[in-house]
Structure 1
Amino acid sequence: MTLRDDKVTLSHGGGGKAMRDLIAEVFTSVFEPTSREDQARLTHEALLEAGAQLAFTTDSYVVTPVEFPGGDIGKIAVCGTVNDLAVGGAKPLWLSAAFIIEEGTEIALLRRIVASMKAEADKAGVKIVTGDTKVVGRGSADKVFITTSGVGVIPAGRDLRADMIQPGDVAIVNGVLGDHGATILAARGDMMLSSDLQSDCAALGHLMEATCTAVPVRACRDATRGGIASALNEMAEAAGCTIEIDEAALPLRPEVKGTCEILGLDPLYLANEGTLVLFVPAEHADTALAAMRSVDTGKGATIIGRAKEGAPMVTMRTAFGGSRIVDMLVGEQLPRIC
């Protein structure tokens, strides 16, 4: 071991031996890229299938705190990028990871984040194949920011798009809503809240593959920033129809409901990091539920609503028998959540 520092210094971003040691001992020793060149060289049998398409996505992660119950910024970076590929029907295969590290960040923290990323990538069946590190001065970042890009393959004949949703299609979520946003809020300690909540952060590639293999999925979105309400509004607008959800069917933990009641928040707008909503034709709903429930991340799959003829909007049948519009989130309930 040649890296003897406890904290990151500006010399770790200077291009010399200190940077080489940091990269070698903290990053490449864990990720084990197949090439040490400035680019990853990718081959996979799925690329040879006639009609297959590449899927590509990128995202940045700035969550605070960087470690929280149920995950950390590294886990979110892997899961979030895997999920952005998976909800489009792609099989996630490769990720890149770029780190902006603040001077003074503990090396031990970086090691925990990198180990978390490796564990999640292995679980999701993806490989982190290339990356970058930059070090900035104290106060120029908040410990560490991560940008990940992902590449996957969409099999021939699979075409998931929100404008494919038809009236009568049912909306299914794979699990509870709002856990991530409520967990981050409690973890910050600003509101003196105490709970046993954990983030729902999880990679959903295996769930989507099982579901797409079993039934014709029309469209899918992961309900991250803006929550399930924003995801459904985007889909309703693209499909040109009304999506009606049932308040009584929404899977919410009592702790999340209680946190929202205390703080005046709406759980429909709380972020999730392991929850998606997909639409399938009504006649395939039972098969879709069975396929989703066969995977750990889909054990809580349930129908929450359906698409209807009408103006592009989201409405909700309330527990009192009425109906209200569920609009897009205006502003931001909670910043720096992913």
Structure 2
Amino acid sequence: MDEKVMLGHGSGGSMMKRIIDEVFYEAYGNDELLQGNDAAVLPAPKPGERLAFSTDSFVVTPQFFPGGNIGRLAICGTVNDVATSGARPLYLSCGFILEEGYPMADLKRICSTMAETAREAGVRLVTGDTKVVNRGHGDGVFINTAGVGVVPEGVSLGGEQCKPGDKVLVSGTLGDHGITVMSCREGLSFSADLQSDAAPLNHLIAEVLAVAPNTRCFRDPTRGGLASTLNEFADQAQVDITIEEDSVPVKDAVRGACEMLGYDVLQVANEGKMVCVVPADEADAALGAMRANKYGVDAAIIGEVGEMQPERGPKVYLRTAFGGKRILDMLVGEQLPRIC
């Protein structure tokens, strides 16, 4: 087994075959992938079902951090994006951009994590691609994943469906991933151990839909955090949204870090949380389903959808712990680059 990634591993020749056989196939080989074709041929969905398809690229630095690594992010990110449509994620593709000289042991560790996370989510990695760039031109490893899932008949979700009176839920504490990655990158230490929240949430979403069938939408608040997600919903549905500061779950260590660094925790990235909008009469059931899942024990109802004031346009408001009310804007620019 080679100890380092070399340019030849992306050449299409025997070295490339070796890295595919000894790293990728060994980690997550299955019947479709082992056919070795340029495209995976997969069973068609049932009549009335639809396909959901999404893709994402991952360039996080550092590539290993408490609670996960770039491989776990790559699986969770795409699984969650597919699942927000109400789909059952089934298949993933995976493309690697590797830098010459990257340690093979680290690559195997990433692939092992990806395989483990895919098994947890119940999805299969069925096709992929590998390229190697010159030393100094790739920063180790970049990963692209694409995912396909099946949307059951009758399921239709989207931010444009939010209605006045609906409740806004979040599946757990905010800011964990962004602050963990930032602290690793900058060599900061805090009194409490921080870990990324990266997690596959497709099972949690399915459990919510089972008890709250009229759910309007789901979205994972990644880059831009909760603030950007809620502003997207408000704009799509032309509504106002108001959330209660005291109701938003945030770990003390994360809140303290944000105060020290001047970040708004509601704009910090998350990789294992889900925002959900449901009719008011289904909110308690949705909350119970979230809290029954291991990734939703800190779930909370945090706000409500309201009528938009036509002269102002759609707005998101935060009602503070002191009783005041301020506009919660979408993040402008890049708060922390290379976060996922």
TM range (shorter): over 0.9
1:304 & 1:232 partners in 2: Cα distance?
A: 11
* Structure 1 Cα separation of the partners of residues 192 and 55 of structure 2: 33
C-alpha distance in structure 2 between counterparts of 1:280 and 1:173, whole Å: 11
Aligned match of 1:314:
316
1:206 and 2:208 are equivalent in the alignment:
no
Matches within 5 A, 1:232-251: 232-251=230-249
Between 1:123-132 and 1:308-317, the stretch displaced more is: 308-317
The corresponding residue for 1:255 is 253
Cα distance in 1 between the residues matched to 2:192 and 2:135: 32
* Contact kept in structure 1, 2:249 and 2:299, CA below 8 Å: no
Q: Secondary structure at the match of 1:298?
A: coil
Paired amino acid for 1:301: A
Q: In 1, are the aligned partners of 2:190 and 2:253 still within 8 Å (CA)?
A: no
Counterparts of 2:225 and 2:70, CA distance in 1:
19
Partner in structure 1 of residue 143 of structure 2: 146
C-alpha separation in 2, matches of 1:26 and 1:274:
27
Match of 1:161 among 158, 172, 176: 158
CA contact (8 A) 2:258 2:265 kept: yes
User: Equivalents in 2 of 1:330, 1:305: separation in Å?
Assistant: 23
Q: Provide the alpha-carbon RMSD of the alignment.
A: 1.1
Q: How does 1:76-91 map to 2 (within 5 A)?
A: 76-91=73-88
Q: In structure 2, what residue type is equivalent to 1:252?
A: V
Following the alignment from structure 1 to structure 2, what is the Cα–Cα distance between the partners of residues 104 and 36? Answer: 26
Which of 98, 105, 119 is the aligned partner of 1:108? 105
1:117 maps to 2:103? no
1:326 is matched with: 328
> Secondary structure, in 3 states, of the residue corresponding to 1:293?
helix
Aligned equivalent of 1:278: 276
Q: Aligned-pair distance for 1:33? A: 3.0
Q: Which amino acid aligns with 2:11?
A: G
Q: CA deviation at 1:172?
A: 0.4
Moved more, 276-285 or 14-23: 14-23
Query: Do 1:98 and 1:131's aligned partners in 2 also have CA atoms closer than 8 Å?
Result: yes
How many residue pairs get aligned? The number is: 332
What pairs with 1:156-235 in structure 2 (closer than 5 Å)?
156-191=153-188, 195-215=192-212, 216-235=214-233
| Partner SS state of residue 147, structure 2 | strand
**TM-score, normalised on structure 1?**
0.96
Report the Cα distance in structure 1 between the residues aligned to 2:263 and 2:334, rounded to whole angstroms: 11
Question: 1:9, 1:104 within 8 Å by CA — same for their partners in 2?
Answer: yes
* Paired position in structure 2 for 1:74: 71
User: What residue identity is the alignment partner of 1:63?
Assistant: V
Question: 2 CA distance for matches of 1:189 and 1:219?
Answer: 36
Contact 1:186-1:194 at 8 Å conserved across structures: no
Query: How far apart in 1 are the matches of 2:113 and 2:188?
Result: 28
Contact 2:191–2:253 (Cα < 8 Å) also in 1: no
SS at match of 2:230: helix
Distance (Å, rounded) in 2 between the aligned partners of 1:86 and 1:12:
34
Looking at structure 2, the residues matched to 291 and 270 of structure 1 have their Cα atoms a distance apart, in angstroms, of 25
Percent same amino acid among aligned pairs? 52
Tell me which stretches of 4 or more aligned residues in structure 1 moved more than 3 Å: 190-195
In 2, the alpha carbon distance for the partners of 1:257 and 1:182 equals 9
In 1, the alpha carbon distance for the partners of 2:133 and 2:57 equals: 17
1:61/1:77 contact within 8 Å kept: yes
Q: Which amino acid aligns with 2:219?
A: R
Q: 1:79–1:202: 8 Å Cα contact kept in structure 2?
A: yes
Counterpart AA for 2:106: L
Matched, 1:300 2:298: yes
